[in-house]
Amino acid sequence: MHSSGLEAALQHAWLRRGPWAIALRPLSWVFGTLVGLRKALYALDLCQPAVLPVPVVVVGNLIAGGAGKTPTVMAVVRCLQAAGRSPGVISRGYGRATDAPPVIEVQPDSPAEQAGDEPLLLRLRLKVPVFVGADRVVVAASLLAANPQVDVLVSDDGLQHLRLPRAAQVVVFDERGAGNGWILPAGPLREPLAAQPPPRTVVLYNAPRASTGWPGHLATRRLAGLVTLEDWWAGRPATMAGLSALAAAGQPVIAAAGMAQPERFFGMLRAAGLAVTPLPLPDHHAYATLPWPVDATQVVVTEKDAVKLRPERFTAGVAPTRIWVAPLDFCGDAAFDAALLVLLN
């Protein structure tokens, strides 16, 4: 089975307590015991979080698979900037080819396989310092040493990285909520879902309505339009006019998405009027070779895919394909921003 198909099958199995989930239940008990013991060490002060000179906002999801964490990081950074703060971003850098060197400062020209696709996207879109590495505390210290103007850090993922201190955390859920309610590998949860959110937590639902019993805020998401791959790399914005023109032409387009929940992207394109041929790819797909036919004329990709598609790969006369990038406009409501800033203040 193709790896993207395997991911989809696993996600489907995690939505109910069927044969697959039941067969994996004993392994979840082992995993849950280890998670509980680790949390107990910190609760009893036998282990303690590190100390950093600036507050940290951790953004993550309790459920495995993409719930909208990266666009939430962007929304949090913009909220902090609007409040007059100077944020930096730290990340584990999933999708990197190797963990060497242990800390990387992500630059606009950093290869995605070295920096990770999501950190590179964050650096290109936000234009703030972004540092990557396995030990987020070491990464945070490195970023602050190189950027003394940074007065708040946003961690892309890290809810379970208990050594990382936090002034606030944002937990993101999508339509799946807590799935079947079981923890890995019998279900999608990385830790049991408590009756109430932990202290100093703001909950954001990347969904039309709340999908768990936790009180929270609803995110607004929509396509920002389309922009050609060359213009996207040049920093030019997407336009709704480009999206409308492609939809009006009625020409079928291949929609490629190397992400955990690609159907969400395909659905948004269809809702915008595009005739979509979906091409789901494994999360963090490397694009070592192009996954669509050589004679494809119109291809639409996510920004997470675009960071691995440098325009020089598509010089004039080599291929007939025109590649479009579809950025996402994503934000929490005003109450979400206010709740986050209250915790920091």
| pLDDT tens track for 58-80 | 999 999 987 889 999 999 999 99
Residue 180 contacts residue 10 (beta carbons within 8 Å)? no
| pLDDT tens track for 246-259 | 999 888 999 999 99
Q: Look up the pTM and report it.
A: 0.92
Please report the pLDDT score of residue 261 as a whole number: 86
Nearest Cα to Cα of residue 293 among 313, 311, 273, 319: 319
181 CB-contact burial (10 Å; exposed 0-12 / middle 13-18 / buried 19+): middle
Please report the pLDDT score of residue 98 as a whole number: 78
Please report the pLDDT score of residue 321 as a whole number: 86
Please report the pLDDT score of residue 12 as a whole number: 81
Residue 105 contacts residue 140 (beta carbons within 8 Å)? no
Please report the pLDDT score of residue 1 as a whole number: 47
Which residue ranges make up each domain of the chain? 3-85+151-220+332-344, 225-326
User: Average pLDDT by consecutive 10-residue portion of the chain (345 residues)?
Assistant: 64 89 95 95 94 97 89 96 97 81 94 93 96 95 98 95 96 95 95 95 95 96 94 94 91 92 93 95 90 92 95 66 93 93 93
Please report the pLDDT score of residue 110 as a whole number: 94
